[in-house]
Structure 1
Amino acid sequence: MAGHQRDENLAEAQRKHWQTTYTTHPGMYGEEPSAPAIHAAAVFRSTGAKDVLELGAGHGRDSLHFAHQGFTVQATDFSPTGLQQLKDAAAAQDVADRITTAIHDVREPLPLTDGSCDAVFAHMLLCMALSTKEISALVGEVRRVLRPGGTFVYTVRHTGDAHYGTGTAHGDDIFEHGGFAVHFFPRDLVEALADGWTLDEVHPFEEGDLPRRLWRITQTLPR
């Protein structure tokens, strides 16, 4: 029970921190899509995908990119402020008809029916303050909502990152810096999350000034 309460407290603290961050720094990641989203859009297009779910969409730069690329997008995040910024931007860019939003905590079941989307994208969402158990449950939910042959592209910071093992330790490979808690992925966790999928790619890349060290993972459900 003590461990569960500690996880709840950390999750609530992170929710408040992100809400404050989006309020204080509107559009904090800029208007240009992330490199992983540009790659994912090309992958999704090659598979014939039409419906994309983005988990942890934030203020929506990647969801907007998917919409401009012709996809129908369901964007989720636990920050109402971030999603409102996304909706405002979608209206301004004339893609509001392609994007729907839902406030959602990924520790809860996804608000979609079984087999209802072609592709799922999550940039640095799985490596937030989630336990290994919660991450595994989330990937199970992704599997549930994807159609057979559907593709999941996600990115995570990994244990080769300079911040791994430093800052405030919360256990389960979670370390906090500057108010942001990160679950750093070992390779065996990537392999475990791909059980029952085809693991198409684990692509290493760097982002930001530290630089942050990440993997871009692509995995596909069997048909």
Structure 2
Amino acid sequence: MDKNILNQQSQHWETNFSNKPEMFGLDHSYSAEKTLSVLKENNLSNIVELGAGLGRDTIFFGKNSINVTALDYSKKGISIIDKKINDQNLNSSIRTLKFDVRKKLPFKDNSIEACYSHMLYCMALTNLELINLNNEVKRILKPGGLNIYTVRNTEDGDFKKGAHRGEDLYEIDGFIIHFFSKDKINSLLDGFENLFIEKFDEGKFPRKLYLVCNKKI
């Protein structure tokens, strides 16, 4: 595995966000809609969004009375989200932070109600980096807190296509994707109880994803 190739993804995303400021579309994702329902059911209103991208889910949460701290390692992505926040007068419910989730998360132990991420776990993260990230999420969540994330799964048409970059990482059209089996999801349950795993499709391809909801024990 060449870590230099994985690390180059940062610039690749920066370039794409600059050239395609709505590359994911304007509408929020299905996973955000489902997550909002879960948050409401559990009377939760404060979340950390990891890998917020261009903010389509961030804005959706803010408009639906959820307070969001949105993290992304793309400076351009954060600036696009900030503009949306200002344009839609959501400054009171959303704050942003440029941050690389491979580092220690900038929150206190047992301080966060819920974490949400849409396809962050299937970015160019090694198995060890996924374990470290998941442990950080566990550290910052309150007891009983939720970690809700989505990943492209091994039934996806792109799985094992393109250049193999090690483990379950494949580079397709310049983007490195980490594909997940249910066994990989279960390997990240240390300190968590799984509440549900749901299959769903996204986009015209379509991408095949799992929506995972875990509760901190």
* TM-score between both structures, scaled by the size of structure 2: 0.97
1:205 to 187, 196, 200: 200
Counterpart of 1:189 in structure 2 is: 184
Unaligned 5+ runs, structure 2: none
Runs (4+) of structure 1 exceeding 6 A deviation are none
How much is the aligned-residue C-alpha RMSD, in angstroms?
1.1
Question: Quick one: distance in 1 between partners of 2:30 and 2:190?
Answer: 26
Q: Is the 8 A contact 2:48 2:112 kept in 1?
A: yes
Which of 112, 119, 124 pairs up with 1:117?
A: 112
What are the equivalent positions in structure 2 for 1:207-222 lying under 5 Å apart? 207-222=202-217
Distance 1:143 1:217 in 2: 15
User: What is the letter of the counterpart of residue 61 of structure 2?
Assistant: F
Which residue number corresponds to residue 11 of structure 1? Answer: 6
Deviation at 1:198, TM superposition (A): 1.3
Instruction: Name the CA distance, whole Å, in 2 between partners of 1:143 and 1:210.
Output: 33
- Which deviations, in whole Å up to 9, do the C-alpha atoms of 1:20-41 show, x marking residues without a partner? 0000011222221111001101
Contact 2:138-2:191 within 8 A present in 1 as well: no
Q: Aligned to 1:45, what secondary structure does the other structure show?
A: helix
- Equivalent residue runs for 1:1-223 within 5 Å: 3=1, 6-7=2-3, 9-222=4-217
Between the two proteins, the alignment pairs up a number of residues equal to 217
Q: Which amino acid aligns with 2:90?
A: V
Q: Counterparts of 2:157 and 2:21 in 1: how far apart (Å)?
A: 27
Letter in 1 for 2:203: G
Identity of aligned residues (%): 35
TM-score (norm 1): 0.94
Q: CA deviation at 1:12?
A: 2.5
Q: Is the 8 A contact 1:166 1:175 kept in 2?
A: yes
Could you tell me how far 1:68 is from its partner in structure 2?
Answer: 1.0
Structure 2: distance between partners of 1:115 and 1:143? 8
Greater helix fraction, Structure 1 or Structure 2: 1
Amino acid corresponding to residue 193 of structure 1 in structure 2: L
Does the 8 Å contact 1:10/1:129 carry over to 2? no
